Chains A and B, each alone.
Chain A
Amino acid sequence: MADKNENSLKAIDQIRKEFEERIQTAGSTEELDAVHRDFLSKKGKISRLFGLIGKVSPEERPRVGARLNELRQHAQSLLDEKRSSFDKQAKPVEEFDPTLPGREFPFGAIHPMMQVMDEIKTIFAGMGFRIEEGPEIETDYHNFEALNIPEFHPSRAMQDTFYLPDKMVLRTHTSPVQIRTMESQKPPVRMIAPGRCFRRDTPDASHSPTFYQVEGLCVDKNVTFADLKGVVTAFAQKLFGEDIKVRFRPSFFPFTEPSAEYDFSCFCQGKGCAVCKGTGWLEISGAGMVDPAVFGFVGYDPKLYSGYAFGMGIERIAMLKYKINDIRIFYENDIRFLEQFKMVR
């Protein structure tokens, strides 16, 4: 029995030697294939050695088994090593080129004007204003009457309106959202109404029959014109930078008293340029203290509460921000235009 064991080990060593010689002399991948066939295939010499396990004494089996496994691994790794050295010599390795374009994932982007809108929403949300929405097809009452713009009042001529049957209109501003909000909640109110508006303007470089506005409203006890100036100034600086100054000028809107138009200082820093037409100021929009008549329509007590409202045109701001000179490009959605605004800022 001991002999048998001894023979088995010898046989293993023998085959090992034989294999190593063959590997050493193999000069081509074809010869390596033959070595593989002769030793490692199912009927190869190494595989056949596993048949010996049955013939050795049970207590020796693990030792013989381990030797065999070791041999098989050793053979395989020598073979692989040699084969890979042939491969390297045989054909030049495909050069790794990191500059070959990667397989990108497609993405889209938010429309540039809506990016501005989103930024404005974020700024006001951070100042405690809640976003409110309302219908684009409005009642004459919410769009005009309740905003203190009676029919046949000259101020109606300030806005050219699209009319629908049954005293409905396409809202000319997002101000009706003020009314709807105040109708449904008690003060304090602190809201902005972003949205689409309509005016009967023939499309040209600065007019579009559809446009976007953000309207803001704050009503509480002791809300003052000074607060309005504060909010608009803080907004301007968050949007355009800390150097921006805001100027308020008296104006007239039926739903605010006193009313103001506000301007931002031009990016030319008062030097005067083509954008500000040499004035140093960029006209932005209107604002004011909520007219007590409006409080009358929604049942707020003007003796107790006061408030401010302000509006702004998003196109105007986006045009200033991106230096765009024709409003119509926003509505064309030219892919070459949209792609310019794909990056995250």
Chain B
Amino acid sequence: MKVTLNWLKDYVDFDIPADELAHRLTMAGLEVEAYYTVDYDFSGVFVGNIVEHQSIPGSDKLSLCKVNVNNELVQVVCGAPNARKGLKSAIALPGSKVGPLDIKTADIRGQHSEGMLCSEAELGLSNRAAGIMELPPDAKIGQPIESLFAESDVVFDIAITPNRPDCLSVIGIAREIAALGGARLHKPKIELSLNAEPVSDYIDVNILNADKCFRYSGRFLKDIKIQNSPYWMARRLYLVDVRAINNVVDITNYILMETGHPLHAFDYERLEGKKIIVRTAKEKEKFTTLDEKEHILTPEDLLICDAEKPVALAGVMGGFNSEVIDSTSSVFLESAYFEPVSISRTAKNLELSTESSRRFERGADPNGTLYAMDRAAMLMQQYADATVLENTIDVYPRNVEPMNLSLTVRNTNRILGTDLHREDLETILSSIEFTITAKNDGVSVSVPTFRPDVQREIDLIEEIARLYNYDRIPTNTNPQVDLTQKSNKSSELKDYIRSVLTGLGFWETINLSLVNPQIAKPFLPEKQQFVELLNPLNTELSVFRPNMLYSLMTSVSYSRNRQFQNLRFFQVGNVAWMSPENQITEMTQIAAVITGQRKTQTWYQKPEAFDFYDIKGALFSLFDKLGVTAVKLTEAKDSFWDSTSAALSLNGRQIGAVGKLDSQVCDLFSARQDVYGFYLQFEPLFKAREKEIVFTQIPKYPSVPFDLALLVDASVPIADLEEGIWEKGGEHLIKVDLFDFYRGQQIEKNMKSVAFSLTFSSKERTLQDEYVNQVIDSILSHLRDKFGATLRPR
């Protein structure tokens, strides 16, 4: 909301510098986002009087004007349609500057031109560009324009919070300034000369939906002369970003800005049947607003109709069929109160947000309709020659009374932590026109209806705090804290996992959660669908990521496109998908990827590429740190894996997978090299983690190592052999490590050689060779029976 300093001063007397005012308003909750001085340099631009005017032959637009500037006649060529003999306007003489133009003498169509007659738009005074500036007949010829019409002003751009519809008006902001500066607000007095004709001869109003239209007031005005609004009004509107159109429309807009109450002027001649009916739209009823857009309505939308047809979309925008035009001579002026939710719904559904709808949906003042209407009528009498009827329309089926509220001193201080007294509450609340109705353990007040945001005691406390000034509320850095609060283990574990992964050489990334369904398709679990946004920004960001590996792949892609080859990334984040029954599953996943070289070329080593066992190693190091021991590998089913991959299961439940990403998937991300990765669900890890550590006595007796070299069919998984060893290893086997693995020419094809180092230990004694040999024999015979494994001869 923009306001100007001079405009504010119409309603409140204050003498506060602009920067100080901006600060005070901001500290009272009216955040001044910007303020700037509007100043002009119009040296060389004067009031001139056109004393001769003739059209230039061969041109339908140009005319030759002789302009009197200080008893000097200046000849100018002018293209404005309103240039005419006798008109006083602004003339810029050679050497002056008008906007970007340097004014010089020139020859146009063979005619000498010694300056330029200027429009308000050219001078930057308003948006009116259709003709040259029209100055009043009493303007003094030869006077500099700036001294007369371009007084300097300061524009404040204020961010009004949605709870403060009253401040979407110059008077509303002036009221705040009055409260802050201890001054009095003086609203303009209504002065009208009235015509005694009964309004019922012209119009009759009927509200069919009082739940959406609490009040409908109006005035009938006739003998109207449509023309430009006065210059001062066009300029003020211009400074607050409202376009000047004609006097009647400008006046309704001016009063909207002044009072915050939206008005609408109908061209009376185009209303049929002398009737206004307020009703909801029929299903699919069509209506064309004055911006010439057709809307298809629903019964939720409220319409203003005449006897035959809709003429306005209530509270949002007038109709094209009844707007005020140049030929309008009578006007029906509407000043109503529409229910906020209804207007909000219509504005949202039709994507039609207007100055009017913004105010109604936040809450206009139902008891402010008459004042706004009369102010407008007064200006129309003054600037459009309107005859105003004494009788007014005022249908008010839902009377809104000021709200009575009580506020205790105790509650004020209980919420704010202050030490305020009743007198403080009284002073503050009366400064913003709340009427004190009783004094007790606090105050009772009547809240004016222009403050729909104040409905509860807490809202009064807010007013107290705001106007007392937050700076003056104490700062308590010594609060009471409950020491029994428990920490959040789940959140802590996530942080711990992140820290372990950085220790393992991975870099944490963060990526957008919204992804491209085309590329993310392979990452969607089987039979599931994407969680798809109803209103995405674009298709590339239209679904929720279904797997954290997708996110990491986008970072791989980014780096590969910049020639970075050796990458180790991880991320902990949420993924989601939806079942065919539209059930959404959201879960936290941990994922990591590696690509490029495990060993880079250095003085001590040759380069070596990452492979499956690197990512598996990292993953199992993580498991080790988490005390998660029971993870088994099974066949991976996700379609984004290459065959070099495995699913991870924990206690019979799949919790993730590890492997090499399919080359076609890598192509989607332009990886151009192998990428290995894993993803894990967080929740099962959290449940499976080792919760307590209990110390085990360090063995007093030396342990006995035993190396076991086996020949076995190449298809037998190492894990199965290991498991076989454990099965027969007896109570004293404490460790099994694979220390050698070989396939090749030295041994039979289809066979592999594996060597395990076993460690035996007992708490009670030194284990004898006989014992160990016995166990080894039983292991060997078990492995032979189960896998056909034999001892490899030395």
* A226 close to B476 (CB less than 8 A): yes
* B512 close to A331 (CB less than 8 A): yes
Question: Quick check: which of B56-64, B219-227, B413-421 contacts chain A, the rest being far away?
Answer: B413-421
The answer to whether the Cβ of B536 comes within 8 Å of any Cβ in the partner chain is yes
The answer to whether the Cβ of B696 comes within 8 Å of any Cβ in the partner chain is no
* B490 close to A133 (CB less than 8 A): yes
CA distance A103 to B415 in the complex (A): 61
Q: How many A residues are at the interface, by size bracket?
A: 35 or more
8 A Cβ contacts from B599-640 to A: 602-604
CA distance A289 to B108 in the complex (A): 70
8 A Cβ contacts from B469-489 to A: 470-471, 473-483, 485-488
With a cutoff of 8 Å between Cβ atoms, the chain A residues found around residue B475 in the complex are 226, 229-230, 233
* B456 close to A292 (CB less than 8 A): yes
A185 CB → nearest B CB, Å = 11
The answer to whether the Cβ of B404 comes within 8 Å of any Cβ in the partner chain is no
Over the window 496-509 of chain B, the binary record of Cβ atoms lying under 8 Å from chain A Cβ atoms (1 yes, 0 no) is 00110111111111
The answer to whether the Cβ of B163 comes within 8 Å of any Cβ in the partner chain is yes
Question: Quick check: which of A8-16, A79-87, A147-155 contacts chain B, the rest being far away?
Answer: A147-155
Report whether over half of chain A's contact residues are helix, strand or loop; otherwise say mixed: mixed
Determine the residue in chain A with the shortest Cβ distance to B418. Answer: A226
With a cutoff of 8 Å between Cβ atoms, the chain A residues found around residue B536 in the complex are 162
* A251 close to B509 (CB less than 8 A): no
By CB atoms of chain A within 10 A, which of B507, B514, B555 has the most?
B507
* A164 close to B508 (CB less than 8 A): no
* B568 close to A108 (CB less than 8 A): yes
* A107 close to B502 (CB less than 8 A): yes
With a cutoff of 8 Å between Cβ atoms, the chain A residues found around residue B576 in the complex are 136-137
CA distance A206 to B436 in the complex (A): 47
* A210 close to B604 (CB less than 8 A): no
Determine the residue in chain B with the shortest Cβ distance to A303. Answer: B411
* A333 close to B513 (CB less than 8 A): no
The answer to whether the Cβ of B532 comes within 8 Å of any Cβ in the partner chain is yes
CA distance A109 to B569 in the complex (A): 10
The answer to whether the Cβ of B511 comes within 8 Å of any Cβ in the partner chain is yes
Interface size on B, residues (CB 8 A): 92
* B535 close to A163 (CB less than 8 A): yes
* B537 close to A200 (CB less than 8 A): yes
With a cutoff of 8 Å between Cβ atoms, the chain A residues found around residue B495 in the complex are 118, 121
* A249 close to B27 (CB less than 8 A): yes
* B471 close to A154 (CB less than 8 A): no
With a cutoff of 8 Å between Cβ atoms, the chain B residues found around residue A101 in the complex are 602-603
Question: Quick check: which of A22-30, A38-46, A253-261 contacts chain B, the rest being far away?
Answer: A253-261
With a cutoff of 8 Å between Cβ atoms, the chain A residues found around residue B466 in the complex are 250, 258
CA distance A70 to B362 in the complex (A): 107
CA distance A163 to B544 in the complex (A): 12
Over the window 94-108 of chain A, the binary record of Cβ atoms lying under 8 Å from chain B Cβ atoms (1 yes, 0 no) is 000000110101111
CA distance A136 to B569 in the complex (A): 23
Q: A164-B532, A170-B533 are in contact. Are A108 and B164 (CB under 8 A)?
A: no
Selected from A125, A133, A168, A226, the residue in CB contact (under 8 A) with B473 is A226
Selected from B29, B486, B509, the residue in CB contact (under 8 A) with A111 is B509
The answer to whether the Cβ of B491 comes within 8 Å of any Cβ in the partner chain is yes
Over the window 226-255 of chain A, the binary record of Cβ atoms lying under 8 Å from chain B Cβ atoms (1 yes, 0 no) is 110111011000000000000111111000
8 A Cβ contacts from B504-562 to A: 504-514, 531-537, 541, 544, 555, 558-559, 562
CA distance A208 to B514 in the complex (A): 11
The answer to whether the Cβ of A166 comes within 8 Å of any Cβ in the partner chain is yes
The answer to whether the Cβ of A334 comes within 8 Å of any Cβ in the partner chain is yes
With a cutoff of 8 Å between Cβ atoms, the chain A residues found around residue B480 in the complex are 220
* A154 close to B507 (CB less than 8 A): no
The answer to whether the Cβ of B664 comes within 8 Å of any Cβ in the partner chain is no
* B535 close to A252 (CB less than 8 A): no
The answer to whether the Cβ of A21 comes within 8 Å of any Cβ in the partner chain is no
A113 CB → nearest B CB, Å = 6
**Besides the known contacts A164-B531, A289-B415, 17 further A-B residue pairs in the complex with CB atoms under 8 A apart:** A108-B505, A109-B502, A127-B481, A128-B485, A130-B487, A133-B490, A136-B576, A152-B345, A162-B535, A164-B532, A164-B534, A196-B513, A231-B479, A249-B29, A258-B462, A258-B465, A332-B558
3 shortest interchain CB distances as A-B pairs: A226-B417, A224-B417, A250-B29
Q: 17 A-B contacts, Cβ less than 8 Å apart? A: A108-B506, A109-B508, A111-B508, A128-B483, A136-B586, A153-B162, A154-B162, A163-B534, A170-B533, A170-B544, A210-B514, A226-B418, A226-B475, A248-B470, A257-B459, A333-B510, A338-B509
Which A residues lie at the B interface, using CB under 8 A?
100-101, 103, 105-111, 113-114, 118, 121, 125, 127-128, 130-133, 135-137, 152-155, 157-158, 162-166, 168, 170, 188, 190, 196, 198, 200, 202, 208-210, 218, 220, 222-227, 229-231, 233-234, 247-252, 257-261, 289, 291-292, 302, 306, 330-335, 338
